[in-house]
Amino acid sequence: MSEKKNRRAFLKSSAAALVAGLGVETVARAAVVVSAGGGERQREILRFAQADNLENRAAARVAARAGGQALGTAMQRAFGNEGRKALRLGLIIGIGKDPDAAIAKVKELGLPTCQVYVEEFAEGLAGRLVRALEKNGIEATSIVVGGPGKEVWDFYGGPLTIGLVPRETRSARVAHIKRASEFAKECGVRAVQTHCGFIPENPNDPLYTETIGALIDLVGYCRRNAQNFRYETGQETPITLLRAMRDVGLDNQGVNFDLANLILYGKANPVDAIEILGPYVQGIHAKDGLWPVNPKELGEEVPIGKGKVDFPKIIARLKEMKYPGAVTIEREISGPQQMEDVRGAKEYLEKLIG
């Protein structure tokens, strides 16, 4: 449990551990939701997103005249999978200040893809990452970002500190994710991924409206950079996440479907959740875990095959859905055991995928 409580610290140190062992278009689309009869909640979202931007208000009027065009048909703009093998394996890894060592380790493990966690966007880091990826023949499927600021990975501190829901850190995190989008653009990576936090189950909660407003801004920003914005599952129920994506209403949203997180947070069985979120799944975290038994603490993450995720059913369903993306291994510990578990996960998943 101690590892899960500081997920960013794990990702920050994972490379070393492995080596050792708001725009016009955005608000226009929000206005279409209103013109389609979205109701007062969507109107509040639109007012929040518009703020005092005259250009945005003009765009909203143009969109309203469109008469409520459907938004849901293009939600799966899955950038980056063209010509790629479906269900290709990968690893999520923090690169710290040494992308060369981190990406070399992905290659050493025999994995063709990775998700890249970046905490600080130092000058020249993007170029060094691109060169490391090219040298090792590794595909980066997303840039993963969290923070800044304190994040507590439990049921009491989590709602107050994780993602875009907490008011105190929201503006700094919006700015940080936009910087991640620019970093991804420099690297040619077509997706930006993050935990959005404990999105309120009650859509009438003011925090829900504010969070959707922030997401409209962020998702639109990524869209203008030709990127998908991916929500990592965990803190919210599948239906809450689906509601949020539909209220945001843009066509470059996707889900990084973390199989274990749904169990660790007690939110859903992934076999059931994929029936709700399946059309939006653009990434997978292959991770296993146990249901929480302490109402204050998350469930325990365990090696793949030792927990409650039904991997045979999930892989079979992904094949039925013709899921085109990567399956990214995540093991939130450090040291030699992490290496052993990643290798075991690779062998286990290769047998299932075929």
The tens-digit pLDDT sequence of the chain (354 residues) is 334 455 555 565 555 555 555 443 444 344 444 434 445 555 555 555 544 333 333 333 333 333 333 333 333 455 677 778 899 999 999 999 999 999 999 999 999 999 999 999 999 999 999 999 999 999 999 999 999 999 999 999 999 999 999 999 999 999 999 999 999 999 999 999 999 999 999 999 999 999 999 999 999 999 999 999 999 999 999 999 999 999 999 999 999 999 999 999 999 999 999 999 999 999 999 999 999 999 999 999 999 999 999 999 999 999 999 999 999 999 999 899 999 999 999 999 999 999
Q: Give the integer Cα–Cα distance in Å for 167 and 296.
A: 23
Q: Are 286 and 312 within 8 A, CB to CB? A: no
Q: What is the pTM of this model?
A: 0.84
Neighbouring residues of 47: CB distance < 8 A, sequence distance ≥ 6: none
Closest to 220 measured CA to CA, from 192, 256, 259, 260: 192
Q: Give the integer Cα–Cα distance in Å for 317 and 311.
A: 10
CATH class of the region 4-21+87-353: alpha beta
- Domain borders along the chain are 4-21+87-353
In this prediction, residue 9 carries a pLDDT of 59
